[in-house]
Amino acid sequence: MLRILFLSCCLFLCGSTFLHAQYTRQQDSMLRVINGQPTGREQVNALYKYGCMLLPYSLPDAEMAFRRGLRVSRKLLYHKGVADFACYYMYIQDMRGEYQQSLFLLKQAVIIYSCLKDTIGQVNAISFCGMEYQQMADFSAAASAYLEALKLADAAKDSTTAGMMINNLATVFNALGDYRKGFSYASMAYEHGIRRKSRMRIAAALLNMGESKSRQGASADATQYFNRALALGRETGDSLLVLSALTGIGRTLSDQQQHKLSLHTYEKALLIAEDDPGPENLMLLYMGYANALYKSGKYPLAARYLDKTIRLAKIYHSGDELRRAYLTASDNMAAQKLYSQAFSLRKAYEILNDSLVGDATRRNVQQLEMQYQSEKKDRDLAEKKLELAKKDLQLQQKNIWIGIFFSGVVLLLIGCFLVWQKLQHRHHLQEQQLQTMEIEKTVEVLEAMMQGEEKERTRLSKDLHDGVGGLLSAVKMHFWALKYERSYLQQDKGFNHALGMLDDAIGEVRKTAHNLMPEILVRMGLAAALEFFCNNVSHSRQLQISCYTSGEMQRFKGNFELSVYRIVQELVNNIIKHSHATEALVQITQHDQLLTITVEDNGVGFENVANSTGGMGLKNLHTRIKSLNGHLTLTATPGCGTTVYIEFNIAIMQLMEMQPLC
């Protein structure tokens, strides 16, 4: 587990996220680049990065790269490079069990980083000291180092390093048997890994979470966490991660009494371990495999792997694995009824266990954690107070500027509003003037057209009445004279019929002349003229037109009455020509300042009135009615006739007619 955490830190220090499968494709080219570089700090950093790429599969080459980086750093008096060497070289020393020597170098690195005010380097070096303490089973010192590193990381707002320290603390609490707290810290480390999108850190946190659940007896949950870590290891091609996950899964299966499957899992892990010379993983694997063999009743084989574990733990000073191996070896000897050896191993376990994870150690670690949490709360509270004070000051300044800004904006808006209002008023007046001018122009054009039409109608009326009418009267007098001069004509039916037709012609000419210039409109007004017109049109035709007047009709200006008369006359003519109607109705109503006219028939009607634009005649009617400030509504249904409704606002119309006189 600690090797996985260390490799994660190395990748973080080097700024590289490549994996072993990718390292092998870049090693030769990168070494050529390093050799071609001038001696300097860039070369030192490149050598350390190159050494990390070689881990954990080419330890001799990695050691040469690290030592070369140290030599160049000393030559350049590059103090940070010297301190970095201790952090990188720690992995090589751990593989040899040189924890004390590594710890000495790391403490010197902490002093160098502190003098250089390199907080990130100081945090990493202190955390590596914690790892060395943990390798030597000095959990109190390890927890103290991790908490100090976490405190510095929090102060530097370094969430990446803080996440790694939290996961390291999870391993300490698991080793001390406080599995609930271990799971809590591992869960926090998992969230850090998710936010950083670091699969290495996610996997390390999952392993600790699985370890906590496994020790608590929650085998199903533990298996789930180990399997997720295993999947990440296979995705990334990280054999160390796969080995750690398989070791955890094998122990969980053994706890569930699935001994055959557990042994099979451990055997797969042993195959992977052949390419991994790391003692830590071998001790964990041998210890787990021996425990599974013991539970399966294979005591001699279990004893062999327990001996291997004890031997490695003594060589590499791994007190935690040594005490676990003593306990399992004691149980294994007792199962074989070798009670004397079992007692000796049990006694060794009790002595070592008391020194490593006794109550004093637990209390010390808990006290350190409580001290850290208390200091963190005080620091967070002080930071919050300072932040609130800054925010209050900023808020006051902001409020002052906001007040000034809004005052300026309000004054500017008031000025703009006044200017806009003035412009709108001027624009409104101009629009009114333009509308008035357009209306006046339209009225003038229509009046000119109507005056021209009326002059032409008057001329035609006089020509018909005086000319054609007089001529027809003269012809009639001549025929009557012939009738009395020649007595036989009095009995001639053809002659009498011709006289009747001549009388009809004279009557039609008089009606036409009267319609062209209705004198009754001038004498009697609009209602009487329309009624007289309807009666004349109904005479001797198949169409019966009724005219009704509602209310007392006042007299209007001559131009208005003549225009309305012509409009109704045109509508009636349209009924005669197009509707094939037998009955029609013209109704005139005046109510207050509203004059309405309804013209309807029972003719054939027509379609698509709503969407139709109409012919020229209908367009002219709309235009003439609109110019008189009226509104026309036409409703027609095929086979059901047509209804035209016209409405005039007399007050506005009269005002419009008066404007040119003002």
Q: What percent of the chain has pLDDT over 90?
A: 13
Which of 590, 141, 561 shows the shortest CA–CA distance to 365?
Answer: 141
Indicate the burial class of 384 (C-beta count within 10 angstroms; 0-12, 13-18, 19 or more): exposed
What gap in Å lies between CA 282 and CA 575, rounded to an integer? 113
pLDDT-derived band at 278, boundaries 50, 70, 90 = low
3-state secondary structure of 632: strand
Q: What are 205-234's pLDDT values in tens digits?
A: 999 899 899 888 888 899 999 899 889 988
Number of neighbours of residue 498 by Cβ within 10 angstroms: 12
DSSP-assigned beta bridge partners for residue 545? 584
CA–CA separation, 318 and 133 (whole Å)? 10
Backbone conformation region of residue 198, classed left if phi is above 0, alpha if psi is from -120 to 50, else beta: beta
Both structure tokens of 554: 């006042």
Most confident range (mean pLDDT) of 88-97, 109-118, 326-335, 526-535 is: 109-118
Instruction: Give me the sheet containing 630-636, strands edge to edge.
Output: 544-550, 583-591, 594-601, 642-649, 630-636
State pLDDT tens for residues 443-464: 677 667 766 766 776 677 666 6
Contacts of 532 (CB under 8 A, 6+ apart): 518, 520, 524
In degrees rounded to 5, what are phi and psi of residue 156?
-85, 5
Return the structure tokens found at 594. Answer: 């509203």
- Print the SS3 string covering 285-342: HHHHHHHHHHHCCCHHHHHHHHHHHHHHHHHCCCHHHHHHHHHHHHHHHHHCCCHHHH
Mean pLDDT in residue range 99-107: 90
Lowest mean pLDDT among 195-204, 277-286, 386-395: 277-286
DSSP 3-state of 618: helix
**Around Cβ 358, how many Cβ atoms within 10 Å?**
12
pTM passes above 0.75: no
pLDDT, mean over the chain: 80
Residues 330-358: pLDDT tens digits?
A: 988 888 888 888 888 888 888 877 766 55
- Over its C-alpha atoms, the chain yields an Rg (Å, rounded) of 57
Between the CA of residue 222 and those of 294, 324, 420, 510, 592, what are the distances in Å? 21, 20, 74, 118, 95
Q: Are 82 and 118 in contact (CB under 8 A)?
A: no
At residue 104, does pLDDT exceed 70? yes
Q: What is the mean pLDDT of residues 86-110?
A: 88
Helix (H, G, I), strand (E, B) or coil at 634: strand
Q: Average pLDDT in the 586-615 region?
A: 78
Q: What is the distance between the alpha carbons of residues 336 and 319, in angstroms, rounded to a whole number?
A: 26
Decide: helix, strand or coil at residue 117: coil
Question: From the CB of residue 519, how many other CB atoms can be counted at a distance below 10 Å?
Answer: 11
Dihedral sign of CA atoms 532, 536, 539, 545 in order:
negative
Least confident of 150-164, 364-378, 506-520, 530-544: 364-378
Contact (CB, 8 A) for 599 and 617 = no
N- to C-terminal Cα separation, the chain: 105
| Mean pLDDT to the nearest integer, 118-133 | 89
- For residue 56, say if its preceding peptide bond is cis, omega within 30 degrees of 0: yes
Q: Are 422 and 428 in contact (CB under 8 A)?
A: no
Q: Are 111 and 86 in contact (CB under 8 A)?
A: no
Range 475-492 average pLDDT: 75
**Residue 414 pLDDT:** 92
Predicted local distance difference test score (pLDDT) of residue 661: 33
Q: What is the DSSP string of 541-609?
A: SS-EEEEEEESPPPP--HHHHHHHHHHHHHHHHHIIIII--SEEEEEEEEETTEEEEEEEE-S---S-T
Instruction: Return the pLDDT at 463.
Output: 67
C-alpha dist (Å) from residue 652 to 110, 432, 447, 656: 99, 15, 17, 6
Distances (CA, A) of 582 to 547, 569, 602: 15, 17, 7
Do 531 and 521 touch, CB atoms closer than 8 A? no
Q: What percent of the chain has pLDDT over 70?
A: 82
Between 103 and 281, the more confident residue is 103
**Dist. CA 72–CA 47, nearest whole Å:** 10
Per the CB < 8 A criterion, the answer to whether 552 and 579 are in contact is no
Give me 50's structure tokens: 């190159």
Predicted confidence at residue 587, as pLDDT, reads 92
CB 204 within 8 A of CB 167: yes
Name which residue leads in pLDDT, 556 or 222. 222
pLDDT of 3 higher than 50: no
Tell which residue, 333, 38, 5, has the closest CA to residue 164: 5
The span from the CA of 23 to the CA of 27, in Å, is 6
Asked whether the beta carbons of 5 and 238 are under 8 A apart, the reply is no
* Spatial CA neighbour of 630 closest among 560, 550, 544, 548: 560
Residue 197 has pLDDT above 70, yes or no: yes
Residue 215: per-residue pLDDT? 84
